[in-house]
Amino acid sequence: MKYQKFNEEIIQLVGGKNNIQAVVHCMTRLRFTLKDRSKADTEKLKAMDGIIDVVSNNVAYQIIIGTHVNDIYKEMVEMLGLDPNAAEGQPKEKKNFIKAALDVVSESMTPILEPIICAGLLAAFLSIVSLTGIISPESPTYQILDALRTAVFYFLPIFMAMSCAKRLGASPYLAVALAATVLSEQINGVEGLSVFGIPLPQITYANSFIPILLAVWFMGYVTKFVKKIVPNALQYFLSPLLIMLITLPATLIVFGPLGFYVGEGIIGFFNFLMNTIGSWFVMMLYSALQPFIIMLGAGNFIMPVVATMIASNGYDPAFISSCTISDIAVGGAMLGYFLRARKSQQKQLFGTVTLSAILGVTEPAIYGVFVKFRRPFIAVMIGGGLGGLFAGLTGVKAYSVAWGLFGLPSYIGQGDFKNLWLMVTSVIISFVASAIASYMLGIPSEDEDRTDQHETSTKTVGDSSLRSLPLGNVVSGEIIQLADVKDQAFSTGALGKGIGIVPVNNEIYSPVEGGVTVVFPTKHALGIKDVNGVELLIHIGIDTVELEGKYFELFIKQGDHVKKGQKIANVNFEKIKEAGYDPTTIIVITNTNAFLDVLPTQNKTVSMDDLLLNIVF
């Protein structure tokens, strides 16, 4: 644990584990409910490195740490043996069943992409060395290397079991034991089996993931049930045995066949789609829209489909090829911007993200450029769509999971050079078309004007000309200088320079354009990072974390992109005051040290047309 020693010292100085009744956190501090506050050594806590201040009031015993408190809190509750959800007093979020299932699949696939990609690139390497005669396919060296490639997919259920077990509340070791059992030669693909007299269908578990995913999901519920009925003294001995005795037969009778038929259904659906409409449509659509899919956080949702298709057909007729075509199109769009840009800083940015996109890593381009300038999305839709259309019409196949330039050799397959050249042609089309489209669309003038305005807005101080960035207002009201705010974490300036406002209406607006970096579950605080790198914390009210979201209505969530002046929340400040809380809304620049100064407005009151802060750099 990164903060283990830090947390150990805090626990000791608040009176030990037995003195802690509960602990929660907000944006900047840990809030302890102590059985006996007199046991806490406040002065020693204040003297600790990493602690800004300690505040003891009617609300809680509060240790002010900073905006990284969430990481400290996670380790703290684990050390104390507490349930984070119960400790925070937050009900678990109820998700739509389909969304929850897709989240589990996506999150489980992410950790095992590493061996899958390794196997894909190894397949490409073996294709090249065998075709050039460097290594014969019959040689022991080739057979050993090929064993690594085939093993990754054959033992896919074991990788999946290990990846998803904790997420689904099961023991990773028992989950792996279950996966290894169904892959054994006594079960995998064997005909005529029965358990407790119940005949079992012939199921091949190798190269699959859905049966074991369903089985581990069931194992999670069995684990909770068994731990409730088995006495603590016998947990170590009896629990694993009972869990396996229940889960293994259920897997063979129910979840194995169910998962097998679900997998067959997935293959059947996409085969039907490609046989009726055509693979060209699927590839064109996905190649054009992949950047949007990545922005939605659903970039890995196709991996289970791809794994199933490769296991069933020996190749993927649509998605991996589309991923590569789209990635190269992103690189082409960034090259167009690189050629169009006039400023050295922009050229450096566009050049860097061009290279990473071509190599198959598009997130820097999408989040660093696409979100801000928007027009590259159109360029990729044009270039990626054309490349995907060509690949679909010519029947390009991906024989393994490998994308980007380094993955192109894997399209050779078993000597299928025609497939390789068709894929190379597809990515050239996508790259060139995207580059031309982005160059012709140009860098939006409004973004250049905004950048120019920020770079040329100056304040003269003595003989120096300093650039400044004005920030808009958050809420109309009466100005309070930060030093007068009744919260030491803010008034001391420890969290950064800023300002306070006593609101006169209930609407909260974004003072900048940027990305929402954090939204606290109780809705009383949120962070925004603007397009110039300014990091803001908007803290609505003092100690309002105790309201647990009551009287707050947010219109944004973490990851959203907001415009300057966009309405982001409604807050019933009258109800907050009636509940006994200070409604002062605080705005601080948490990365103040990155700038020369942060200058608050000198107005006594502000409306939504006024500027709130000036960032000098």
Enumerate the active-site residues. Answer: 26
Q: How far apart are CA 82 and CA 69, in angstroms?
A: 17
Q: How far apart are CA 152 and CA 117, in angstroms?
A: 10
User: Which of 501, 316, 517, 286 is CA-nearest to residue 402?
Assistant: 316
Q: Is-contact 338 347, C-beta < 8 A?
A: yes
Can you spell out the DSSP letters for 177-218?
A: HHHHHHTSTTTTT-SS-EETTEE------TT--HHHHHHHHH
Q: How far apart are CA 177 and CA 180, in angstroms?
A: 5
Q: How far apart are CA 452 and CA 380, in angstroms?
A: 27
Q: How far apart are CA 316 and CA 297, in angstroms?
A: 22
Name beta bridge partners: 614: 470, 599
Q: How far apart are CA 426 and CA 389, in angstroms?
A: 8
Single-letter residue type at 227: K
Rg of the chain over Cα atoms, rounded to whole angstroms, equals: 29
First to last CA, the chain: 37
Q: How far apart are CA 69 and CA 3, in angstroms?
A: 10
Whole-number Cα distances in Å, 332 to 33, 137, 335, 418, 447: 56, 37, 5, 24, 21
User: Which tokens in the block code for residue 196?
Assistant: 């407790």
User: Which tokens in the block code for residue 80?
Assistant: 């104390």
